[in-house]
Amino acid sequence: MVIVITGVTRGLGRALAEEFIAAGHTVVGAGRSGEGVMDLRFSHGAPQDFSVVDVTQMPKVELWAERVLGMHGPPDFLINNAALMNNPAPLWQVPVAEFDKLMAVNVGGVANVVRAFVPAMVKRGQGVIVNVSSGWGRSVSSGVAPYCASKWAIEGLTKALAEELPAGMAAVPLNPGVIDTDMLRQCWSAEAAKYPKAEVWAKAAAPFILGLGPKQNGQSVTVGAFEG
């Protein structure tokens, strides 16, 4: 299968990519880190395919998608994983620029990638879009209002998208659970170490994601073992 993943250079995205590749799938990934993309390229040759892409820039996303679709065809799975976390603070103390950048990546970036890839998937009549949500897309916590807002938006966006897709396709908001990543450490510091590493998570999450399909269209799902 061909699996497109954004935010592929670290955390959950990198861990998923490694698991999918080990299972024999073709991973096409994008990330903001040039160093991270080069590391993936050196680690995994063709048919694996990694590019530096800013998902907030629609022209760049369109160019990336055009090349990917030409080389690999429509993906079987499109995983929108790229996201930012705000520095924990009351909402009124979060700088405008920080809030706007988070929304541009976490919500706008998902919409851009959907615009670029989903028409080809719809034309083929198959494929699953997995938009990575959060427990904070279904609940809230102080200090992370911008992140909560973005993930609640992902839940709604994905469920509406699910109603727009033809039969045989699916759009699914996925709560990965509580995982020890740089993003969690940004919120919880050393407390994050109590939770499983991304590499451990991916061993359960990768097959779970590949099991998603039309029956889960529009359903909020969670990688159960990591619900926290």
Residues forming the active site: 147
Q: Extract long-range pairs of 93-99: CB within 8 Å, 24+ residues apart.
A: 94/145, 94/146, 98/146, 99/146
Tokens (6 digits) for 131: 């938009």
Distance CA 154, CA 152 (A): 5
Count CB atoms within 10 A of the CB of residue 16: 28
Distance CA 22, CA 39 (A): 16
What residues contact residue 90 under an 8 Å CB cut-off, 6+ apart?
A: 142, 143, 145
Q: What is the DSSP string of 150-168?
A: HHHHHHHHHHHHHHHSPTT
Distance CA 195, CA 69 (A): 37
Burial of residue 175 (number of CB atoms within 10 Å: 0-12, 13-18, 19+):
buried
Q: What is the DSSP string of 182-213?
A: HHHHHHHGGGGGGS-BHHHHHHHHHHHHHT--
